[in-house]
Copies of this chain bind each other. A is one copy, B any other.
């Protein structure tokens, strides 16, 4: 767990964080569409070229999630009790997304409000999570994710709850708490999504 990290990588992480923080701040202030990559790079005191070595686009610097988070989420799901319902396991694991990233969410939400197109980009970035989680669910249920729609379905439904919670919380102007709404939505859906019986080949659903 405690990896000895060298000075080089520490500096790289600092640069990475500085770029993300700059993008987040500028995007929240003025909307990402009115911010150029050059401004972000300058704010982080690096060159434009370096920015592109850390993020494929300025949008990703705001709403994209690092690759290691995907692994982290996958491991967290794999560590859930084997007898736990898939959707319940997803609720616990995905719910953590609301609480992480040390204060990045408020800025991120403001950036999204300033340019709602970012919400779409965010949902797209969830696809990477989904791909990883689908495999874990398939393994837990003993189903083949390429022949049985169930793993993809239950994961997509969990993401749907996440999306709906974000959207509604945003629409309510802060009256609703995304995390609580997410938990309630998942609980509501839980009854319908216990895994199908296997043995008898891929289920129709």
Stretch at the interface among A16-24, A28-36, A47-55, A150-158: A150-158
Per a CB cutoff under 8 Å, which of B127, B149, B155, B184 touches A205?
Answer: B184
User: Judging by beta carbons under 8 Å apart, are A185 and B124 in contact?
Assistant: no
Roughly how many angstroms separate A53 CA and B12 CA in the complex, as a whole number? 42
Contact between B172 and A164, CB atoms less than 8 A apart: no
Say yes or no for A198: interface residue by CB 8 A criterion. Answer: no
Report if A205-B193 is in contact (Cβ < 8 Å); known contacts: A120-B127, A165-B149, A172-B147.
Answer: no
- Please state the number of chain copies in the assembly: 2
* Contact yes or no, A124 B127, CB < 8 A: no
**A66 CB, min distance to chain B CBs, angstroms:** 18
Query: How big is chain A's contact interface, by range?
Result: 35 or more
Known A-B contacts A124-B120, A192-B189, A192-B193; the reply to A156 vs B160 at CB < 8 A is: yes
Contact A145 B171 (CB under 8 A): yes
A185 touches B149 (CB 8 A): yes
Question: Separation in Å of the A67 CB from the closest CB of chain B?
Answer: 16
Whether A113 sits at the interface, judged by CB under 8 Å, is no
Question: CB of A176 within 8 A of chain B?
Answer: yes
Does A42 reach chain B (CB closer than 8 Å)?
Answer: no
Cα distance, A123 to B123, chains bound together (Å): 8
Q: Is A7 an interface residue (CB 8 A)?
A: no
Q: A8 within 8 Å of B by Cβ?
A: no
Q: Which residues of A contact B (CB under 8 A)?
A: 119-121, 123-124, 127, 145-149, 152-153, 155-157, 159-161, 163-165, 167-168, 171-173, 175-176, 181, 184-185, 187-193, 204-205
Q: What are 10 A-B contacts with C-beta separation under 8 Å?
A: A120-B127, A124-B124, A146-B168, A146-B171, A152-B168, A157-B157, A157-B189, A159-B160, A187-B205, A189-B189
Known contacts A123-B127, A149-B164, A153-B185; 5 further A-B pairs (Cβ under 8 A): A120-B127, A146-B172, A149-B181, A153-B168, A157-B161
